[in-house]
Amino acid sequence: MTTDQASSPPDALAFDGEMTIYSAAANFQRLKDHIGKRLPLHLDLSAVNEIDSSGIQILLYAQSEANARELEFSLTGIGESVEDALSLLFLKRTLGMQTATQPETSA
């Protein structure tokens, strides 16, 4: 499971616009169709400009299904809005993203 900001694989499933409750059903169906093809699960999020908890749920579901089906999983093109949401929920490490090491604080 990796994260790559540079480029997306040719078989990547690209999401765009909002990954919110308003697009959740369509995004979930696209993801299920892609998983059904048994292709590596590379999600391109470079065109996502907003994400809410339903979008986060889709990402977590994708990772879970990839693990269960032994498929490759990666996120690419993670923009500021997605990174902010994942950081807020402490999910960056869970989804395979690099996290900045926080400096130790002395008591």
Q: Which of 85, 75, 71 is nearest to 5 (CA)?
A: 75
Copy the structure tokens of residue 59.
């990402």
Strand arrangement, sheet containing 73-76: 2-4, 73-76, 41-51, 13-19
Could you state, in order of their start, the residue ranges of all structural domains in the chain?
A: 2-88
CATH architecture of 2-88: 2-Layer Sandwich (3.30)
pLDDT per residue over 57-104, tens digit each?
999 999 999 999 999 999 999 999 999 999 999 999 999 887 665 444
Residue 100's SS3 state is coil
Which residue do the tokens 């990547």 mark?
A: 12
Which residues does 54 contact at the CB level (< 8 Å), separation at least 6?
Answer: 19, 20, 21, 24
- Does pLDDT of 20 surpass 50? yes
Reported pTM? 0.84
